[in-house]
């Protein structure tokens, strides 16, 4: 059992490391959380002290453990159709506008991005919403729809890619969608059943590891970007940098969604406020 206390100077070093590499701001109030997460990594690796662990993860040859470290400090609270107002907006306004524009352009290409996708509930919810809309409103058109889902944590991405969820997790999914897009399968334990997302959801959703501060290995543009409950982990300068980079990948008329506890107030972004947590790129 690790009994060591994380000293202030070392906390500041870990905090600076996280900020420099991932842009995440760990203020003093996060010290106890960081100590608890570090203790788990010490037990997992057999490293004896926080100082030794810091020295270990800052060596280039130990990048794999550094990624485990970032995984450990990431907070991943999510569930299907979280903040459902966004999905209602997608159905009632964003998607009808996208369809109208694409028809005028003679294009069938629709791209969306779920940034900070966690264990997959958000992107799979988006996919269900979009596929249902296309099936009901434009059944005559075969849309080229893809959804990019990214996260800094390899651990949560593995869960998302598997697409297996407990009964409790899928209870939030409306019954008709649950029946249509999930299959009940045998779990890893005898007598345990889990729910697997349908192949069509996996076909349209592409999961990739991405540190939002790193160069983006894609070109866009995206008609809709979900970046919900992500900005709260960054300080204002990092928020400013990220919002300008991310919105440069948003198509004119495209929508940018943030969490309902977040705001872009005080940031320069060139987006028009539409309603709480929804912004639009005009040009």
**Cβ–Cβ < 8 Å for 245, 214:** no
Q: How far is CA 84 from CA 146, 198, 263, in A?
A: 21, 21, 17
Angstrom distance (rounded) from CA 197 to CA 56: 39
Angstrom distance (rounded) from CA 221 to CA 132: 22
The DSSP bridge partners found for residue 255 are: 224, 280
The DSSP bridge partners found for residue 184 are: 195
Angstrom distance (rounded) from CA 30 to CA 28: 5
* Catalytic residue IDs: 37, 151
**Cβ–Cβ < 8 Å for 267, 242:** no
């Amino acid at each position: 059992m690790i009994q060591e206390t994380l000293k202030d100077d070392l906390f500041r070093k870990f905090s600076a490391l996280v900020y420099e590499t991932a842009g995440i701001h760990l203020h003093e109030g996060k010290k106890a959380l960081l100590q608890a997460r570090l203790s788990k990594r010490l037990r997992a690796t057999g490293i004896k002290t926080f100082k030794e662990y810091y020295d270990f993860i800052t060596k280039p040859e130990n990048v794999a453990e550094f990624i485990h470290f970032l995984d450990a400090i990431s907070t991943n609270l999510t569930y299907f159709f979280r903040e459902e107002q966004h999905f209602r907006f997608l159905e009632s306004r964003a998607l009808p506008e996208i369809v109208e524009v694409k028809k005028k352009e003679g294009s069938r290409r629709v791209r969306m991005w779920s940034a900070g996708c966690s264990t997959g509930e958000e992107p799979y919810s988006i996919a269900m919403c979009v596929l249902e809309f296309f099936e009901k409103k434009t059944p005559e058109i075969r849309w080229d729809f893809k959804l990019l889902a990214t996260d800094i944590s390899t651990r949560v991405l593995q869960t998302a890619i598997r697409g297996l969820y407990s009964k409790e997790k899928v209870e939030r999914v409306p019954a008709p969608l649950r029946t249509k897009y999930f299959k009940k399968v045998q779990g890893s334990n005898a007598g345990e059943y889990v729910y697997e997302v349908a192949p069509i959801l996996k076909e349209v959703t592409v999961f990739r590891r991405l540190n939002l501060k790193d160069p983006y290995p894609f070109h866009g543009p995206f008609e809709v970007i979900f970046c919900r409950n992500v900005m709260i982990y960054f300080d204002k300068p990092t928020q400013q940098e990220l919002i300008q980079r991310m919105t440069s990948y948003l198509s004119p008329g495209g929508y940018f969604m943030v969490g309902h506890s977040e705001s872009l107030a005080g940031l320069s972004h060139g987006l028009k406020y539409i309603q709480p947590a929804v912004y639009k790129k005009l040009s």
